[in-house]
Chains A and B, each alone.
Chain A
């Protein structure tokens, strides 16, 4: 499902964020990427989501080689992903419902079907009662759950989460991770980037450990 071979990323100025990374993640796997800050975790996510190109090496997602993708095809590649951001990237000019609806609007869903799916996604993260609320009125944990609802509403085959429990206390973090586990159980491939080693221990899933841009 996700396959990297000899991937390196150098930034202008010579900083090498990732060096010779190779791994592959099978369909339906749940994998953690750990490492201290600056180890290249976020760069790795950016490369997989085709936000940045690698300096060398090849990345294959769902059988598509990213290097051979036309720019116009990139949006369609991204629809395979559900992206969860550390800073949520919510849109504060629209309510909870419309935030979650956005991916379905982008993919051109029929309105009533989209509304149904949006409510289902909100229900899964426990925000159904708050669909008319503006995101600014939500707590940090609720904002994170809203971000998750938006990531899963179009039923992506891959979930990519960047520090999804970053600012949450451990009880809340556990709850969020249980959520990812349940998505994984219905066949979604899940890749979670986190620096929280205790969390990884609690779940005992496969872990890729990055250290100064190298897979340890």
Chain B
């Protein structure tokens, strides 16, 4: 039984090799189609990696009430010092904050025109854990202390980036799903043409007692092989593109003082790519042959 599978596999390979141009075109089309979502996925994965590497310490800004008074402030400072989840904190007095604001943002004139300083005293806190949920818990806790007006988590930009990456990933999956449908349909059509050129063989096989399973097998191998080759092509396209992009990426990264490099597909991801492309080819072939066999009548006389 294994022997038949090997012979069928080598037969399918011979068939692909016997029409090299057609095979090349098909494989390229599949490869290009697959490299779009796979490349996008890779890009997002790399971005995610890069943003993790950016050593961003999310901070909590603790704003005091204007009328908090020295006692409340001392109490808060004591609590901050003894809190297990807090790594460091520093005090930014309202005068200093106003100075920084007018110096940093070119708002000096505006600041000078204000009748009195509208800024509150504040503490900038960094936590031991960078986990967003943990930080939010901490923020909630400190915001309820005596004399605290409000506490804000400065991880909004990280959240935004993450949300954008998630959105990108979602778009990638939608794109991948659409292309998967397209690939199945396209592969079905290729196999349908294969079937038409081998109709005599199918008819004779049926006449002498071949089961549908027997008839289907070589086409399934054909579809799966073509899918697999397409997956390999996609892999190659992605690897070459990453290399080309890296020339510019590393220059850009150097400007940011980073050694960031685009990574190619990890082995597990590549295996998933090849596996799913072979699987899509297999499904397309299966649907095409089954459809054909359902409508096939032996034309004998």
B-binding residues in A (CB < 8 A): 42-43, 46, 49, 51, 72, 75-79, 81, 83, 85, 89, 91-93, 102-103, 105-108, 110-111, 150, 154
Contact = CB atoms under 8 A, between A and B. Distances in A.
Contacts of B201: 91, 93
B209 A75 contact: yes
A150 B208 contact: yes
B-side binding surface: helix, strand, loop or mixed? helix
Given A51-B300, A85-B300, A91-B200, A106 B208 contact: yes
A108 B1 contact: yes
Contacts of A92: 200
Interface in B170-201: 200-201
B209 A89 contact: no
Interface string B92-119: 0000000000000000000000000000
B208 A78 contact: yes
B301 A83 contact: no
A46 B206 contact: no
Given A42-B301, A85-B300, A91-B201, A76 B1 contact: no
A107 B301 CA distance: 25
Given A42-B301, A46-B300, A89-B203, A102 B211 contact: no
Nearest to B8: A105
B209 A106 contact: yes
A79 B208 CA distance: 6
Nearest to B200: A91
Given A42-B301, A106-B214, A108-B1, A51 B207 contact: yes
Q: Which of A72, A93, A106, A154 has the most CB of B within 10 A?
A: A106
8 contacts: A75-B210, A78-B209, A79-B208, A81-B209, A85-B300, A108-B1, A111-B3, A150-B208
B211 A72 contact: yes
B200 A106 contact: no
A89 B207 CA distance: 10
A107 B209 contact: yes
Given A91-B200, A108-B1, A111-B3, A103 B301 contact: no
A49 B209 CA distance: 10
B298 interface: yes
Interface in B283-301: 298, 300-301
B208 A83 contact: yes
Nearest to A49: B207
B4 A105 contact: yes
B298 A51 contact: yes
Given A46-B300, A106-B205, 4 more contacts: A89-B203, A106-B209, A106-B210, A108-B1
Nearest to A73: B211
Which residue among A75, A76, A78, A91 has the maximum number of chain B CB atoms within 10 Å of its CB? Answer: A75
A76 B209 contact: yes
Contacts of B206: 75, 78
Contact of B204 (A76, A89, A108): A89
Nearest to A91: B201
Contacts of B212: 72
3 pairs of A and B residues whose beta carbons are closest in the complex: A78-B209, A79-B209, A42-B301
A43 B301 CA distance: 8
Contacts of B211: 72, 75, 106
A110 B1 CA distance: 8
A21 B190 CA distance: 46
Contacts of A76: 209
A116 B200 CA distance: 26
A89 B206 CA distance: 12
A102 B209 contact: no
A83 B4 contact: no
Given A91-B201, A108-B4, A102 B300 contact: no
B171 to A, nearest CB: 44
